[in-house]
């Protein structure tokens, strides 16, 4: 399918790359279909882009690659609703917030929402954003990563270029796949 985006132009997305969020995402309850896309500036960062809303794209990453001690306790009902029988069948992502540096030339500040990870069933390609019950995680954990790290050269080199999901430094992501431009 062809997906028009504001940020990346027109993308070709295989139907089997679409991830369905039956209840949408908090704040975007009417948006149900998304796909993952590589970020050209870092192998650790991805975009979770709406397949239906050209302007909706969330910056996401593998939280385990950013926070070694992260141990989310995903509610059983979410795992059950998504059809996830064991942890190896799940892809967990954290939503990143990127804020411009305080002064010109200063790198952006990046924070991760560890309180509400996005959980995706690799097999069923269904997802949900889980709000954890534990009080140890918040919505603004500082990430020590520069957007220019791990730059990969992709065909065409434009912002719309995306590679395979297998290139992300993310345990278990290879079952999901990323869109191509």
pLDDT (tens, 9 = 90+) of the chain, 181 residues, equals 999 999 999 999 999 999 999 999 999 999 999 999 998 877 889 999 999 999 999 999 999 999 999 999 999 999 999 999 999 999 999 999 988 877 888 878 899 999 999 999 999 999 999 999 867 899 999 997 655 554 222 222 222 323 222 222 333 334 444 444 4
Contact 34, 120 (CB under 8 A): no
| CATH value at residue 42 | 2.30.290.10
- Cα 85 to Cα 130: distance, rounded to the nearest angstrom: 16
The pLDDT assigned to 103 comes to: 80
Structural domain tally of the chain?
Answer: 1
Q: Closest Cα to residue 44, out of 88, 121, 110? A: 110
pTM of the model: 0.78
Residue 52 lies inside a defined structural domain of this protein? yes
Beta-carbon count within 10 A of 169 CB: 14
* 91 three-state secondary structure: strand
Residue 118 lies inside a defined structural domain of this protein? yes
* 27 three-state secondary structure: coil
Question: Which residue(s) pair with 12 in the sheet?
Answer: 2, 180
Residue 180 lies inside a defined structural domain of this protein? no
| Domain that residue 27 falls in | 2-175
Contact 21, 128 (CB under 8 A): yes
Q: How far is CA 91 from CA 20, 66, 98, 151, in A?
A: 14, 15, 22, 23
Q: How far is CA 68 from CA 35, 42, 63, 72, 143, in A?
A: 26, 19, 8, 12, 12
The pLDDT assigned to 145 comes to: 67
Residue 181 lies inside a defined structural domain of this protein? no
């Amino acid at each position: 399918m062809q997906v028009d985006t504001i940020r990346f132009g027109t993308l070709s997305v295989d139907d089997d790359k679409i991830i369905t969020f039956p209840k949408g995402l908090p704040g975007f309850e009417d948006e149900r279909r998304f796909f993952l896309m590589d970020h050209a500036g870092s192998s650790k960062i991805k975009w979770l882009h709406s397949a239906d809303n050209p302007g909706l794209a969330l910056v996401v990453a593998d939280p385990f690659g950013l926070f070694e001690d992260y141990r989310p306790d995903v509610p059983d009902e979410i795992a059950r609703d998504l059809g996830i029988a064991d942890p190896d069948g799940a892809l967990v992502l954290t939503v990143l917030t990127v804020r411009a540096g305080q002064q010109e030339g200063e790198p952006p500040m990046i924070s991760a929402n560890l309180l509400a990870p996005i959980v995706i069933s690799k097999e069923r390609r269904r997802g949900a954003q889980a709000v954890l019950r534990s009080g140890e995680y918040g919505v603004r954990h500082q990430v020590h990563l520069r957007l220019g790290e791990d730059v990969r050269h992709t065909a065409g080199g434009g912002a719309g270029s995306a590679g395979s999901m297998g290139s992300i430094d993310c345990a278990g992501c290879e079952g999901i796949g990323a869109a191509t431009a």
